[in-house]
Chains A and B, each alone.
Chain A
Amino acid sequence: NAGVTQTPKFRILKIGQSMTLQCTQDMNHNYMYWYRQDPGMGLKLIYYSVGAGITDKGEVPNGYNVSRSTTEDFPLRLELAAPSQTSVYFCASSWTGGTGNTIYFGEGSWLTVV
């Protein structure tokens, strides 16, 4: 029972490089999210999607892009990586948003920009 799967687990990027963090879920959830967690900080929402073809910005979207072409997949694209994007990234999903719903997380992707 896979749940939410993220790849890669670890990655080192050079400043200015680009990469995509992959996320897929097998629970047929409508909502998907990308969070980042910096040391001593909580989880900050980067982008979220309420269904295929629909995405919206969260608290900290600058420097990132997303797409949602299928229910299962929600990749996060980093363009022109900067040291400020060094963080742990978590993909998550839920049936819908808000009241009564549980959000399920992937295991995280550790990204270092040097």
Chain B
Amino acid sequence: DQQVKQNSPSLSVQEGRISILNCDYTNSMFDYFLWYKKYPAEGPTFLISISSIKDKNEDGRFTVFLNKSAKHLSLHIVPSQPGDSAVYFCAASELGGNQFYFGTGTSLTVIP
């Protein structure tokens, strides 16, 4: 049972435009969310996180939005750059939990 879902397997965006990657979750006990970026033949690397006490967190070109009532989060990349082309995973964990649950990933291609 997939508790964290990324329903778009792929996304293509023109360089300079906004990329919006979406993630939905089913477990109402999740209180911490992370985004990871993965290049081919490498391990995932941490990008940005958000706690459930916030609805937005920004780090440079990357912003994560959290809508708890909809159990939905999104990652915005503005402006998108060709080097952002990678697979993006969202992940979630429960308050006091020991595990992180990952989505299936969205492959982003930024077209120069």
Return chain B residues, CB-CB under 8 Å to A99.
Answer: 31-32, 51, 93, 95-97
Query: In this assembly, does A95 line the interface, its C-beta being within 8 Å of a C-beta of chain B?
Result: no
Task: Using CB atoms, name the residue of chain B closest to A100.
Answer: B32
> Across the interface, do B4 and A98 meet the contact criterion of CB distance under 8 Å?
no
Contacts A102-B46, A104-B46, A105-B44; A42 near B94 (Cβ below 8 A):
no
How would residues 69 to 112 of chain B score, 1 for a CB under 8 Å from any chain A CB and 0 otherwise?
Answer: 00000000000000000000101011111111111110000000
Residues 19-58 (chain A) with a chain B CB within 8 angstroms? 31, 33, 35, 40-45, 48, 50, 56, 58
Contact A97 B93 (CB under 8 A): yes
Tell yes or no: A79 within 8 A of B by CB. no
Cα–Cα, bound, A41→B105 (Å): 7
A78 within 8 A of B: no
How big is the B interface, by class? 20 to 34
Q: Which residues of chain B from 38 to 86 have any CB-CB distance to chain A below 8 Å in the complex? A: 41-46, 49, 51
Closest residue on chain B to residue A97 by CB atoms:
B98
- What distance in Å separates the Cβ of A90 from its nearest Cβ neighbour in chain B? 6
The reply to whether B99 and A58 form a contact with Cβ atoms under 8 Å apart is yes
- Restricting to B1-48, which residues have a CB under 8 Å from any CB of A? 2, 4, 6, 9, 31-32, 34, 36, 41-46
Contact check: which of A48, A103, A107 meets B34 at CB < 8 Å? A103
The residue from A31, A42, A98, A108 contacting B2, defined by CB atoms under 8 A apart: A42
17 contacts between A and B (CB under 8 A): A4-B43, A33-B99, A43-B102, A45-B99, A45-B101, A48-B99, A50-B98, A90-B44, A97-B97, A97-B99, A98-B97, A101-B32, A102-B46, A103-B91, A103-B100, A105-B43, A105-B44
Interface, chain B (partner A; CB < 8 A): 2, 4, 6, 9, 31-32, 34, 36, 41-46, 49, 51, 89, 91, 93-105
